[in-house]
């Protein structure tokens, strides 16, 4: 009986935590996306020649089942990069979304959730050091979302 009660308490508590995170993500104007290279998360580095200048572009792809990928682009249009303390990860864990969180939704819902933010930063797992992490401002491309607001 105690085990059953404990199971229900944990289940209820977990549900409350997830719903609060979703509301906090919806209400925030800045969101952070965690990227870790895998078969479902791809990274491409390209060079663009524009007016005899060579520009760099990083493209990060999150694949969805039976759909186009969600793309996060860091290039000369979104050049901001920040190096901050690693303690940032603990302080802002409610605003950091992962591939598993994003793919709980379909592509249109995920684009609607992330695409309307003023700023979207990507945290590449390879850019996490011992004491600092690098945040890259990215532009989000998915589907043309319909706004729920």
Please give the pLDDT value at position 107. Answer: 85
Please give the pLDDT value at position 10. Answer: 53
pLDDT-flagged residues of the chain (< 70): 1-20, 143-149
Q: In the chain, where do the E strands start and end?
A: 30-35, 41-50, 53-62, 70-74, 81-85, 96-97, 119-128, 132-137, 139-141
Please give the pLDDT value at position 3. Answer: 61
What is the pTM for the complete model shown? 0.77
Please give the pLDDT value at position 33. Answer: 94
Please give the pLDDT value at position 67. Answer: 79
């Amino acid at each position: 009986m105690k085990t059953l009660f404990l199971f229900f308490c944990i289940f209820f508590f977990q549900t409350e935590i997830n719903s609060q995170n979703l509301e906090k993500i919806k209400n925030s104007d800045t969101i952070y996306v965690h990227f870790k290279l895998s078969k479902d998360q791809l990274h491409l580095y390209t060079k663009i020649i524009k007016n005899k200048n060579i520009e760099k572009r990083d493209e990060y792809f999150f694949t969805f089942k039976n759909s186009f990928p969600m793309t996060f682009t860091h290039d000369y249009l979104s050049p901001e990069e920040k190096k901050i303390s690693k303690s940032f990860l603990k302080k802002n864990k409610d605003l950091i979304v992962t591939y598993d969180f994003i793919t709980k939704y379909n592509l249109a819902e995920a684009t609607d959730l992330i695409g309307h933010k003023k700023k979207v930063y990507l945290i590449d797992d390879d850019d996490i050091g011992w004491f600092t992490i690098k945040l890259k401002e990215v532009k989000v491309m998915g589907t043309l979302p319909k706004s729920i607001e």
